[in-house]
Amino acid sequence: MGDDVRHYGVLQNDKYGRYLVANKDLVSGELIFTDTPFAVGPKPGKYTPPLCLSCYCPVENTLCSTCGWPVCSEECGKSATHAGECEVFSAAKVKFQTVEDWTVSAPQLDCITPLRILLAKEKDPDRWQRELEVMETHTKERKERPTWGADQVNIADFLVDYCKLSDRFDKELVQKVCGILEVNSVEIPSRGGFSIRALYPQLAITAHNCVPNIVHTILQNDYQVQVRAAVPIKQGDPLYLCYTHSLSPTIVRRDFLLESKFFECDCARCADPTELGTHLSTLKCSKCDNGVILATNPLDNEAPWTCTDKNCGFKTSGAAMRKMLSVVQSEIDQLDMMEPGPGAVEQREATINKYKSVFHPRHSLLLSLKHTLAQLYGRVEGYGIDELPDLMLERKAEFCRLVLSTLDVIMPGENRMRGMMLYELHAPLMFLARNEFGAGLITQEKLKEKLQEPIQCLAEAARILMREDPQSPEGITGQIAQQSMEQLKASLECL
């Protein structure tokens, strides 16, 4: 805790429950607090194949010699991370039931993270009482969902009955822990590269907004989280995190928040049919050329979607909109499973072409394709940065700028995605300027002037990304950006 206590306070109201506010004026990038996870472990099995219970790398048929649960090595089997459940499973003689296909999801691992919370509660009852006992669990709503029954069988019954823990924990407490995890945990990248989940007591109090004003970084050696101001924040302002994927359209964000966090978001972005002018949910009208299709009331799932041209009269339902978004999202998910290569570029371009008459050019689904293309151009076989023609360099730059201008509105300030896009933008700008100079189209002075923008992109990317874990892809990119900026500055001085 230390000095960071002065940076934020905890308030309570009917809308957010407990939430954090700034205790002083904060500048962009300022560290507000760090938080240590109460527990870390696998996500529910429907999302994850069997992972090593220590380092979270995928495993295939390698089990702990002591307890018989998945670990990738003898070293991981003896690690402190795995020690708690290893002791429980060994004592109860409960082994992991090996599977035929080690790439499919493993619901058996659903019990691991709740068990780790229960063991941490035993170890530090004061911290449990202080930080977790008060957390929201939405027990009433969870009881009405199929996951409640699954948690009862796979986690509560399994731990209390099969693992013989009835003298230490009751099933009601196990379900409470499942609720705490479902409502309050966050997905984080593991050292093994797979997503896992962690429960951060301070971070969990942060209120949600679809336009966040803070950003968090996970340090991979101990999964500590650092929370910083993304933009300048005034004293007394709430600290907002976005609990969902920021680039998703409103329907998808609100459905996700209702399903996973049990509330309906009514923030300014969700309430605006144009999503604050970004048009991330806007469709083109196929009936007329003058209007676009928007939700008449984005906060009402049943409200119709209509064309903005009063003479057109086109109307469709929220249900039809959901169905269409889900079909196109499935196509994009298939593309995301492809290996990065020339096919991955060409198929995404074909998908943009296929849907450009359906969606606004800034619609979330097209934007996600353009965001990926901005990263693939210059990086895959046949599309190396030094072999891209000027037209494709301009396309890469255009996509980077499109993503950046959208982030300015929905994820303002200093965040990972902005840092990565600025790094991607520097390359086409640099090559375009050099190509113009090489063709004799601009003078040396004009070249120097044009290279100032890529230098600025690299400087900002380095500043943002060097706050990330040095072993993470973003942290590594930050170090490369810093070196590239110094080299580009040095080469300018030699001109």
Give the distance between the most distant pair of CA atoms in the chain: 82
Least confident of 164-168, 329-333, 425-429, 469-473: 469-473
pLDDT of 47 higher than 80: no
pLDDT of 2 higher than 50: no
The residues facing 39 across adjacent strands are: 199
Average pLDDT value for residue range 280-300:
92
Q: How far apart are the first and last CA of the chain?
A: 50
pLDDT of 52 higher than 60: yes
Which spans in 439-472 are helix H?
444-450, 452-465
* Mean confidence (pLDDT) of the chain: 92
The sign of the CA dihedral 292, 293, 297, 299 is: negative
Average pLDDT value for residue range 241-250:
94
Q: How far apart are CA 101 and CA 106, in angstroms?
A: 10
- Could you tell me the residue ranges of all domains in the chain? 2-36+201-241, 40-188, 274-376, 381-495
pLDDT in tens, 431-458: 999 999 999 999 999 999 999 999 999 9
Least confident of 45-49, 69-73, 417-421: 45-49
Contacts of 26 (CB under 8 A, 6+ apart): 7, 32, 229, 232, 233
Q: What is the pLDDT of residue 461?
A: 98
Confidence of residue 1 (pLDDT cuts 50, 70, 90): very low
pLDDT in tens, 361-371: 999 999 999 99
The total of other beta-carbon atoms located within 10 Å of residue 117's CB is 23
Fold of 2-36+201-241: Beta-clip-like (2.170.270)
What the block records as the tokens of 10 is 């905890």
pLDDT in tens, 409-418: 999 999 999 9
DSSP 308: S
Confidence of residue 189 (pLDDT cuts 50, 70, 90): confident
Average pLDDT value for residue range 28-49:
88
Q: What is the pLDDT of residue 324?
A: 94
Average pLDDT value for residue range 329-355:
94
Q: What is the pLDDT of residue 399?
A: 97
Which spans in 290-415 are helix H?
318-336, 342-355, 364-376, 390-410
Q: What is the pLDDT of residue 231?
A: 97
- Ramachandran region of residue 56, left (φ > 0), alpha (ψ -120 to 50) or beta? left
Candidates 328, 472, 427, 336; CA nearest to 435 is 427
> In a 3-state reduction of DSSP, which class is residue 483?
helix
